[in-house]
Homo-oligomer: A and B are copies of this chain.
Amino acid sequence: MPDLRSEALRYAKENNSRFLEELNDFLTIPSISTDPGHAADVEEAANWVANKFEKLNLVNIKILPTGGHPVVYAELNTSVPDAPTILVYGHYDVQPAEPLELWTSGAFEPEQRGENLYARGASDMKGQVCATINALEAVLEVGASPVNIKFLIEGEEEIGSPNLAEFISKNQDLLACDFALNPDTGMIGADNPTITYALRGLAYFEVRVEGPDHDLHSGIYGGVVHNPAQALCELIAGMHDENGSVTLTGYYDRVRSLEVEERNQLSELPMDEEFYRKQTGAPVLWGEKEYSPVERVGARPTLEVNGIYSGFIGEGSKTVLPSWAMAKISMRLVPDQDPDEVHQQLISYFEENAPDTIKFEIKYLVGSPASISDRNSEGVKAMQDAMERVWSKKPLFRREGGTVPVVDMFSGILNIDSVNCGFSLPDDNAHSPNEKLHLPTWTRGIDTIIHFIYNFEK
């Protein structure tokens, strides 16, 4: 019997530059899901993925409509008897690229500089999607796959997957599987393969504050009207106390405490104050002093201003007293916070604290709870072994600060666990200008997934 695993690894190595060319092609599509102006590009990216599945001779390939952007689905049904079925999750949409002027090369004109490939979506997560597809291609090229695979590649992850839960609910039979593989959570560093066992949730809001019914001259009316920009600042300022804790009433009531054992394990991660200071470039770190940076990011909820706007922000001076102000405010949630409950807490905060000099409106854009999964499942063990083979060291287990709503949906609707990993790095500038993919790590990622698949060989 030939050593399929080695053959597949050799095939992947020999085809690495073609894999890279294909990724480059995928990255030229500006599939920005939040922007209606890019709807055609998002569709093109879906077609690109479906096309790729066709070249692999997968079956049951479908571009399935949702209330928003479609899901690309495909199956590999192996001839190996009693093979487990893995649901591979991915997304083909990307974040907006603004501010464009901060990119060294075009956001959708991928450019390799040194060991990195620069483009929006390179790391989050077109590179990860391609790595999975490439690994499967290598496996299929050399023989029968030891596993069945179902792909679910969505187009709305960057806007909080608003239509995915409904899609999964309606397609439970189609998606039936043993567990999911989700390569969207990344690594702590290029030398630290990582499995993520907990993810934060997200609740995202747009808040609007209105004062006078039109923009006013700040000279003629300044002094008698509560400036809505100032009022919004006052409300936002009140949302944290001096320790950096969120002041919304009841906000921490459902937050699961960290046990000593887990705190000890988290403290072993190579992510200290200096690590975070270097990654962010912040002059000094900030946040709840009684928790370490890793704990604050992984196990504590936050409240962030993602954007704020009011009045005149162009060149020079305009003496306007603006009639309204707006902020995008989101919370990262941890087990067992509930996004709808947090929504209520935000409304209550405004009801209790907004002065009668202004009116407010709160729009609830997306909500998704946090998730936490079994660290000893069959899937996790197969991934742990695969990483150890490629990096010659055990992977780290961590809680992650980001949100992958699908992990919670898979668990809640399909009743399956997810193996959360991925080959992106903390300095990949996900969601920022100059997003990039570290190519040596990406190549190791392809090998890891090949090993992962063969770890289910009987």
Q: Are A96 and B357 in contact (CB under 8 A)?
A: no
Q: Are B96 and A283 in contact (CB under 8 A)?
A: no
Q: Which of A296-316 contact B (CB under 8 A)?
A: 296-297, 300, 302, 304-316
Q: Are B305 and A308 in contact (CB under 8 A)?
A: no
Q: Which residues of B contact A379 (CB under 8 A)?
A: none
CA distance A159 to B357 in the complex (A): 29
CB of A325 closer than 8 Å to a CB of B: yes
Which of B304, B306, B317 touches A328 (beta carbons < 8 Å)? B317
Q: Are A332 and B223 in contact (CB under 8 A)?
A: yes
In the complex, what's the smallest C-beta–C-beta distance from A236 to chain B, in angstroms? 4
Q: Which of A243-302 contact B (CB under 8 A)?
A: 244, 276, 279-288, 293, 296-297, 300, 302
Q: Are A432 and B316 in contact (CB under 8 A)?
A: no
CA distance A352 to B322 in the complex (A): 28
In the complex, what's the smallest C-beta–C-beta distance from A89 to chain B, in angstroms? 17
Q: Are A302 and B212 in contact (CB under 8 A)?
A: no
Number of copies: 2
CB of A401 closer than 8 Å to a CB of B: yes
In the complex, what's the smallest C-beta–C-beta distance from A105 to chain B, in angstroms? 16
Least CB separation from A292: chain B residue = B224
CB of A375 closer than 8 Å to a CB of B: no
Q: Are B426 and A220 in contact (CB under 8 A)?
A: yes
In the complex, what's the smallest C-beta–C-beta distance from A284 to chain B, in angstroms? 5
Chain A, residues 324-340, CB within 8 Å of chain B (1/0): the string is 01111010100000000
CA distance A332 to B224 in the complex (A): 13
CB of A204 closer than 8 Å to a CB of B: yes
CA distance A233 to B306 in the complex (A): 13
Q: Which residues of B contact A305 (CB under 8 A)?
A: 227, 229-230, 233, 310-311, 322
In the complex, what's the smallest C-beta–C-beta distance from A254 to chain B, in angstroms? 17
In the complex, what's the smallest C-beta–C-beta distance from A246 to chain B, in angstroms? 10
**A280, A310, A400, A401: most-surrounded residue (chain B CB, <10 A):** A280
CA distance A65 to B279 in the complex (A): 50
In the complex, what's the smallest C-beta–C-beta distance from A101 to chain B, in angstroms? 13
Q: Are A225 and B282 in contact (CB under 8 A)?
A: yes
Q: Are B233 and A332 in contact (CB under 8 A)?
A: no
Q: Are B430 and A217 in contact (CB under 8 A)?
A: yes
Q: Which of A413-440 contact B (CB under 8 A)?
A: 426, 429-434
CB of A35 closer than 8 Å to a CB of B: yes
CA distance A449 to B283 in the complex (A): 61
Q: A302-B222, A302-B223 are in contact. Are A357 and B308 (CB under 8 A)?
A: no
Q: Which residues of B contact A357 (CB under 8 A)?
A: 282-286
Q: Are A96 and B226 in contact (CB under 8 A)?
A: no
User: What would be 28 A-B contacts, judged by CB atoms less than 8 Å apart?
Assistant: A34-B317, A35-B316, A102-B214, A214-B432, A218-B431, A219-B401, A220-B401, A221-B280, A222-B304, A222-B401, A223-B332, A223-B401, A224-B276, A224-B293, A227-B305, A229-B305, A229-B306, A233-B305, A234-B236, A234-B237, A284-B356, A285-B357, A286-B357, A306-B311, A306-B322, A308-B309, A317-B365, A319-B330
Instruction: Report A's interface with B, CB cutoff 8 A.
Output: 34-36, 95-96, 98-99, 102, 158-160, 200, 202, 204, 211-227, 229-230, 232-234, 236-240, 244, 276, 279-288, 293, 296-297, 300, 302, 304-323, 325-328, 330, 332, 355-359, 365-366, 400-403, 426, 429-434
